[in-house]
Amino acid sequence: MKKHILSGARLIGLSGIICLSLIAMANGMAETHKTDLVTAAEKGDLVTVQQLIGEGGDIEQRDNRLRTPLMAAVHGNRTAVARYLIEQGANVNAADAIMDTPYLYAGARGLQDILEMTLSHGAGLKSTNRYGGTALIPASERGHVKTVKTLIDAGVNVNHVNNLGWTALIEAIILGDGSQKYADIVTLLIEGGADVNLPDGSGDSPLTLAKRHGYRNLVAVLEQAGAH
């Protein structure tokens, strides 16, 4: 009798182990599937991305950095993959662990083709990054002239102030190099309605900052626009 009881217990225990193993395998397969989709998107492997989505892969899956496949594709500047995912309904405003979204990142990095796709698919123009800045602010800082014009034309607030107390105009002045592309950006921002006398968090005006950095071309543009 004891042998039967022990044998039954062993069978139950073995069944439990098998069940746990199957669950673990299933979880592992799901995690691999998840990782493969994000990884494939970042590598620009359109065929694999299409295959995984076709097999039921979640288009809004997240990796350990909370990136969706679209966010990963944008990080890799994989335009074809980004286009496919956006056309399949991927959220262009899905924020990752550091509050970047496909739209915000494309704008900040001057990824023009992807940016335009996000704008035509519901990009949140008022959304902000971890510094409290719109896409226009880092685009201005980094000298992406075409991107700046695109964002202004789309309706992004040119006078938005980020957590550092800086507008797009101020960042173009203090974080740029005073070259022609920054003169072009300052001009675009002014034409787009930038307040040339809106100071930074320390009370310094754009004109004061341009003079401090010795950017005579920017000083001329600002003074012509009525800066003081």
Of the pLDDT bands very low, low, confident and very high (cuts 50, 70, 90), residue 23 is very low
- Neighbouring CB atoms inside 10 A of 45's CB total 18
Phi, psi angle pair for 196, to nearest 5°: -70, -10
CA torsion 79-55-39-147 (nearest 10°) is 20
SS3 category, 209: helix
Give the amino acid at 149.
K
Distance CA 185, CA 198 (A): 17
Quick one: tokens of 4?
């039967």
> HSE (CB half, 13 Å, CA atoms) of 64?
3
Give 88-124 pLDDT, tens digit per residue.
999 999 999 999 999 999 999 999 999 999 999 999 9
Residues 114-151: tens digit of each pLDDT: 999 999 999 999 999 999 999 999 999 999 999 999 99
Write down the pLDDT at residue 104.
98
Q: Which residue has the tokens 């698919």?
A: 121
pLDDT value at residue 17: 43
Percentages of the chain per state (helix, strand, coil), in multiples of 5: 60, 0, 40
Calpha distance 147→44 (Å, rounded): 23
In degrees and rounded to multiples of 5, residue 201 shows phi and psi of -65, -20
The tokens for 55 are 């097999």
pTM of the model: 0.85
Token pair for 125: 């123009």
* Tokens, residue 179: 């070259």
Both tokens assigned to 5: 């009881």
